Amino acid sequence: MPQPARARPAVRHRLRRGLARGVAGRDGRRSDEILPGQTWTYIFDIDETTIGAWPFHDHVRHVQANIDRGLFGAIIVRDPAAPRVDHEVPLFFHAMAQAGGSCRFESPTLSTNDTFESTFPDADEVCDYICRIHGASMSGRIRVTSGTPTAQMDVRIEDNRFVPADFTITAGTKVVWTNFGANQHIVFAGGGGRPTFCFNGRALSATPRQLSAQAATPSAGTCST
């Protein structure tokens, strides 16, 4: 993984709830910023409800840049009764999109009650956007039609969704997002360019790949090109 020019603070944030809530440990404290040279220890309560893979990523500053460097991982909780495989390779599947179109914006990191606004000048456009921290699981869509601009459209940011998530406005209308949640969020649209799909930070190129596997049979699975 490429190294940053200098040491950076970091924090870990789970993409799912269960092992811990948000960035809070069992004792209620938060690892909001782990500075260079500091450590933070999470204490998890593990039982049958936590069996599975639990992704985590950096969550303090320059979130996307640090994730692009590979600053993410996973905690795997195994079922002690399940059969073990001979060889195991964790895979992270994600997508990146090149810039394109006029639907391009990125808010600063929004804390509770912070706002962000953007005006949409182009009719006949569908603008898909996400929270850049929480990814495609927290997404929204704005449909822009021709007509006279109307009063601003207000969107609530909650943990972790946009309300409303899909709506229509006329060209020239301003949209204002307000964070009513406890978590931080970044409203982001990359322009709707062609997506590039990646495994573990490596882009897939040439012909499409096809992956298949048989559930509950650890030795089964194929990968073809």
DSSP string computed for 142-187: EEEESS---SPEEEEEETTEEESSEEEEETTEEEEEEE-SSS-B-E
> Strands, E, within 27-185: which ranges?
52-58, 72-77, 93-97, 104-106, 115-120, 125-131, 135-145, 153-158, 161-163, 166-170, 173-179
Which pLDDT score, from 0 to 100, does residue 93 have? 72
Averaged in consecutive runs of 10 residues, what is the pLDDT profile of the chain (225 residues)?
Answer: 43 43 50 75 82 79 65 84 83 63 85 95 88 88 92 94 96 96 91 63 59 49 40
Which pLDDT score, from 0 to 100, does residue 221 have? 40
Preceding peptide of 160 cis, ω within 30°:
yes
Which pLDDT score, from 0 to 100, does residue 76 have? 86
**Residue 48 phi, psi dihedral angles, 5° rounding:** -65, -20
**pTM summary value:** 0.50
Which pLDDT score, from 0 to 100, does residue 225 have? 38
d(CA 192, CA 52): 32
Which pLDDT score, from 0 to 100, does residue 211 have? 54
Which pLDDT score, from 0 to 100, does residue 4 have? 40
d(CA 70, CA 154): 35
Note whether 133 and 156 are within 8 A (CB).
no
Note whether 203 and 94 are within 8 A (CB).
no
Residue 56, beta-bridge partner list: 14, 73
**Residue 220 phi, psi dihedral angles, 5° rounding:** -85, 150
Which pLDDT score, from 0 to 100, does residue 89 have? 77
3 state SS of 128: strand
DSSP state of 189: E
- Which contiguous run of DSSP H or E holds residue 70? none
Q: Which long-range contacts (CB under 8 A, 24 or more apart) does 78-83 make?
A: 78/51, 79/48, 79/51, 82/218, 83/218
Which pLDDT score, from 0 to 100, does residue 101 have? 59
Which pLDDT score, from 0 to 100, does residue 19 have? 46
